[in-house]
A and B are shown apart, each in its own frame.
Chain A
């Protein structure tokens, strides 16, 4: 029996193997770094924003009588009044009007605290004026301070009173804008894609359209804002800050995304289907309408949803067309001044009060949640209905 031959790599080969390992490590490192950014980003946003979903409330004895309707601060004890949200006082006469049976009663109620108190309780600021702090600590000992779910954040519009501000008007604005984007860019985008994939002759003009669309997909979004300002607002007289102006601008921006993804979906349909339809005498339009489109619809919808999700997060062009106005009430039509979720986030991010930082981060969490569910829905759609040929 001879000894088994033991292969020892030469020093050169060993060096090459080491280089191989090193290179692979760089690659993994790069990917891990990208993932680490993602994790860091999400933990940071959650850390900053999660507390905004609850809000500090104070238990007060609220007296509803003629005096407190005239001068709302009288409704609660004098020492507690500086801790209660101005929004609560301001809306007191309206509440009495809505529910006249409140008049003349004194009730124990949990009311929204001022943003300063809220931020102090959450540990975001460490100081309060001494008198306020004393009252706060007394109430806290008596168990009259607590957290409640922040309904204001979802049911109110923007407000100059931090604890009273919410996302509702931005929700409505975003809804209008998305509706406009969908009704304009979906049909036009799909028709363009059908033309380019199914009808267009392969000539220079068609190539020019293609290059132009690819370029539009990469044009900085702010330039679409300048287009919206120059053409829609200044030339066609669309009202500034309106959902219509923003929606039209974003439609043009979403168009190339929908075109590109629809073309990919149409290209995935095998030629056999077209040939089959043409062979039994269908015209080209009938082939597309009755055979190609139904098969590629899931792909088209997926691309559309992704495009709309992108438009939903867009801010820069909307700033240019004036959609960062202060909107306390939800817009009631597509031509009245409106704001959208990302624009609301931008506005809050520029506010000096500490309480808005938390609300900004919470707004971001809501926006990201919406976008991720939209994208997840698109992915589901693709997996559920996609056909492989």
Chain B
């Protein structure tokens, strides 16, 4: 803070000096390449950039555990570097110096740097998950994790306790996740697709302009709210309906979170499918009408086959959403790892176990806590594949009709 407070006026001062020097040239009648303010900016960057770089190197080195001189020394060193930058920067101010081009190049690298942050984020996710899950997989074999059918971690409140009884077979978690995803997609795909068809082919402009934002509201509702809705309203409803049919449903059955998740995903499917159907050129529709096909025949025989890759991609994105959805299942699905095909039983998901592993009181190095990262890795890989496939399919689809 003090550091920035010290650097900021210095930079402003540099800007002023650089500008004045450029103005001095012009008053002597020399033609400058750029505007005076642009020279000022260049000088200011000469002052700020090296000093900032030095400071951040010191900060990173300090974090990495390298011996760094005390903060006041770093501060003084930065100021010296800044002063040196000022001297050098002022000497560059010269009628032939292309300050404007220099600014353009600096902006280019600044913007490029900003766009690298998104790549760093992906690396950050991969690294943070990978390292911890390597630790986990050194305790639990990958084979057991992928094929084992029992998930029963034993709580470890201190690091280094005996780990014999814990079992980390993730199959029931994957099965529960896929069951809930399947229910969600069974709700979301038909409703989302038919709504999209209605909005793009049948609806008048007025209906469309009210229905579309209404559907978008469904996407804007926070997942914690859906979770509460699933747990408080839908689960008891499912239990009582199942009761009246003579079936036995658990209070934390998989059906309720699945249904609610389906509602949540409807807008993803419908708005993506809507885009896709809209991007089909009108000539296809008109060709079909010219042959005497009705509207629904045109949709079924011409538009849907043409839009199929896009709709598939939308569905895959929906699946990826459903797999990674956390709050609904944390609040409404069970905690027990249960391998079953009955949606009325309670079952748990990958994301539920991640949350419960990281919110417990266990030591951070216990296998249960680390198992969260193993599960996270599995989730990341699966959703990455789904996302990439659907992103590439959508890109191809857009290009094919452009």
Question: Hey, what's the 0/1 contact readout for A156-197 against B, CB within 8 Å counting as 1?
Answer: 000000000000000000000000000000011001101110
Q: Which of B108, B125, B214 contacts A223 (CB 8 A)?
A: B125
The answer, yes or no, to whether A28 is at the interface (CB within 8 Å) is yes
Flag if A283 contacts B118 (CB, 8 Å).
no
Q: Which residue of B lies closest to A215 (CB)?
A: B387
The interface-forming segment of B80-88, B160-168, B321-329 is B321-329
- What separation, in Å, do the CA atoms of A212 and B218 have in the docked complex? 26
Q: Which of A16, A24, A219, A346 contacts B331 (CB 8 A)?
A: A346
Flag if A222 contacts B376 (CB, 8 Å).
yes
Question: Hey, what's the 0/1 contact readout for B281-306 against A, CB within 8 Å counting as 1?
Answer: 00000000000001111011000000
The answer, yes or no, to whether B49 is at the interface (CB within 8 Å) is no
Task: Say whether, besides A222-B324, A230-B131, A35 and B117 are in contact (CB < 8 Å).
Answer: no
The answer, yes or no, to whether B252 is at the interface (CB within 8 Å) is no
Q: Which residue of B lies closest to A306 (CB)?
A: B220
The answer, yes or no, to whether A134 is at the interface (CB within 8 Å) is no
Question: Hey, what's the 0/1 contact readout for A354-376 against B, CB within 8 Å counting as 1?
Answer: 00010011001001100110010
Flag if B227 contacts A283 (CB, 8 Å).
no
- What separation, in Å, do the CA atoms of A318 and B239 have in the docked complex? 31
Flag if B119 contacts A209 (CB, 8 Å).
yes
The interface-forming segment of A40-48, A52-60, A67-75, A109-117 is A40-48
In the assembled complex, the CB of A358 is this many whole angstroms from the nearest CB of chain B, namely 11
The answer, yes or no, to whether B8 is at the interface (CB within 8 Å) is no
Task: Say whether, besides A222-B355, A231-B124, A195 and B112 are in contact (CB < 8 Å).
Answer: yes
In the assembled complex, the CB of A25 is this many whole angstroms from the nearest CB of chain B, namely 10
The answer, yes or no, to whether B25 is at the interface (CB within 8 Å) is no
- Interface magnitude class on chain B: 35 or more
Q: Which residue of A lies closest to B223 (CB)?
A: A315
The answer, yes or no, to whether B255 is at the interface (CB within 8 Å) is no
The interface-forming segment of B67-75, B139-147, B193-201 is B193-201
In the assembled complex, the CB of B272 is this many whole angstroms from the nearest CB of chain A, namely 11
List which B94-152 residues lie within 8 A (CB) of chain A: 100-101, 103-104, 107-108, 110-112, 114-119, 121-122, 124-125, 127-129, 131-132
Q: What chain A residues lie within 8 Å of B300 (beta carbons)? A: 23
Q: Which of A28, A223, A367, A375 contacts B198 (CB 8 A)?
A: A28
- What separation, in Å, do the CA atoms of A299 and B103 have in the docked complex? 26
Task: Say whether, besides A199-B111, A226-B376, A16 and B297 are in contact (CB < 8 Å).
Answer: yes
In the assembled complex, the CB of A255 is this many whole angstroms from the nearest CB of chain B, namely 6
* A316, A345, A346 pick with most chain B CB within 10 angstroms: A316
List which B170-214 residues lie within 8 A (CB) of chain A: 190-195, 197-199, 201-202, 211, 213-214
The answer, yes or no, to whether B1 is at the interface (CB within 8 Å) is no
Flag if B117 contacts A349 (CB, 8 Å).
no
Task: Say whether, besides A23-B299, A349-B331, A367 and B111 are in contact (CB < 8 Å).
Answer: no
Flag if B224 contacts A315 (CB, 8 Å).
yes
- What separation, in Å, do the CA atoms of A48 and B234 have in the docked complex? 13
Flag if B351 contacts A316 (CB, 8 Å).
yes
Q: What chain A residues lie within 8 Å of B201 (beta carbons)? A: 27
The answer, yes or no, to whether B392 is at the interface (CB within 8 Å) is yes
- What separation, in Å, do the CA atoms of A221 and B325 have in the docked complex? 8
Flag if A192 contacts B232 (CB, 8 Å).
no
The answer, yes or no, to whether A320 is at the interface (CB within 8 Å) is yes
The answer, yes or no, to whether B57 is at the interface (CB within 8 Å) is no
Question: Hey, what's the 0/1 contact readout for B344-370 against A, CB within 8 Å counting as 1?
Answer: 000000010011001100000000000
List which A93-136 residues lie within 8 A (CB) of chain B: none
Question: Hey, what's the 0/1 contact readout for A193-229 against B, CB within 8 Å counting as 1?
Answer: 0111001100000001101111110111111101101
Q: What chain B residues lie within 8 Å of A360 (beta carbons)? A: 228
Q: What chain B residues lie within 8 Å of A22 (beta carbons)? A: 296
Q: What chain B residues lie within 8 Å of A218 (beta carbons)? A: 317, 320-321, 383, 387, 391
The answer, yes or no, to whether B66 is at the interface (CB within 8 Å) is no
List which A271-297 residues lie within 8 A (CB) of chain B: 283-286
Q: What chain B residues lie within 8 Å of A231 (beta carbons)? A: 124, 127-128
Q: What chain B residues lie within 8 Å of A381 (beta carbons)? A: none
Q: Which of A200, A216, A371 contacts B220 (CB 8 A)?
A: A371
Task: Say whether, besides A226-B125, A315-B224, A188 and B117 are in contact (CB < 8 Å).
Answer: yes
Flag if B108 contacts A199 (CB, 8 Å).
yes
Task: Say whether, besides A223-B379, A231-B127, A29 and B103 are in contact (CB < 8 Å).
Answer: no
The answer, yes or no, to whether A246 is at the interface (CB within 8 Å) is no
The answer, yes or no, to whether A337 is at the interface (CB within 8 Å) is no
The answer, yes or no, to whether A31 is at the interface (CB within 8 Å) is yes
Q: Which of B117, B132, B358 contacts A320 (CB 8 A)?
A: B358
Flag if B358 contacts A283 (CB, 8 Å).
no
Q: What chain A residues lie within 8 Å of B320 (beta carbons)? A: 218, 220
Q: Which residue of A lies closest to B270 (CB)?
A: A34
The answer, yes or no, to whether B2 is at the interface (CB within 8 Å) is no
Q: Which residue of B lies closest to A28 (CB)?
A: B198
Secondary structure class of chain B's binding surface, majority of residues: helix
Interface size of A by CB at 8 A reads 87
Q: What chain A residues lie within 8 Å of B107 (beta carbons)? A: 285
Flag if A223 contacts B194 (CB, 8 Å).
no
Flag if B128 contacts A209 (CB, 8 Å).
no
Flag if A219 contacts B380 (CB, 8 Å).
yes
Q: What chain A residues lie within 8 Å of B379 (beta carbons)? A: 220, 222-223
The answer, yes or no, to whether A342 is at the interface (CB within 8 Å) is yes
Q: Which residue of A lies closest to B107 (CB)?
A: A285
Flag if B118 contacts A38 (CB, 8 Å).
no
Flag if B198 contacts A342 (CB, 8 Å).
no
- What separation, in Å, do the CA atoms of A279 and B143 have in the docked complex? 64
List which A207-263 residues lie within 8 A (CB) of chain B: 208-209, 211-216, 218-224, 226-227, 229-231, 235-237, 252, 255-256, 259
In the assembled complex, the CB of A15 is this many whole angstroms from the nearest CB of chain B, namely 11
The answer, yes or no, to whether B372 is at the interface (CB within 8 Å) is yes
- What separation, in Å, do the CA atoms of A212 and B387 have in the docked complex? 10
Flag if A229 contacts B128 (CB, 8 Å).
yes
Q: What chain B residues lie within 8 Å of A385 (beta carbons)? A: none
In the complex, besides A215-B122, A310-B220, 13 extra interface pairs with C-beta distance below 8 angstroms are A27-B198, A35-B211, A37-B266, A41-B229, A44-B233, A211-B391, A218-B391, A222-B355, A259-B118, A285-B108, A346-B327, A371-B220, A379-B213
CB<8 Å pairs between A and B, sample of 27: A20-B294, A27-B194, A28-B198, A31-B195, A35-B214, A38-B214, A45-B225, A192-B114, A194-B111, A200-B115, A209-B118, A212-B122, A215-B122, A215-B384, A218-B387, A219-B324, A220-B323, A220-B379, A226-B372, A231-B128, A235-B63, A237-B63, A285-B107, A315-B223, A316-B327, A320-B355, A342-B225
- A interface with B by C-beta (< 8 Å): 16-17, 19-20, 22-24, 26-31, 33-35, 37-38, 41, 44-45, 48, 187-188, 191-192, 194-196, 199-200, 208-209, 211-216, 218-224, 226-227, 229-231, 235-237, 252, 255-256, 259, 283-286, 309-310, 312-316, 319-320, 324, 342-343, 345-346, 349, 357, 360-361, 364, 367-368, 371-372, 375, 379
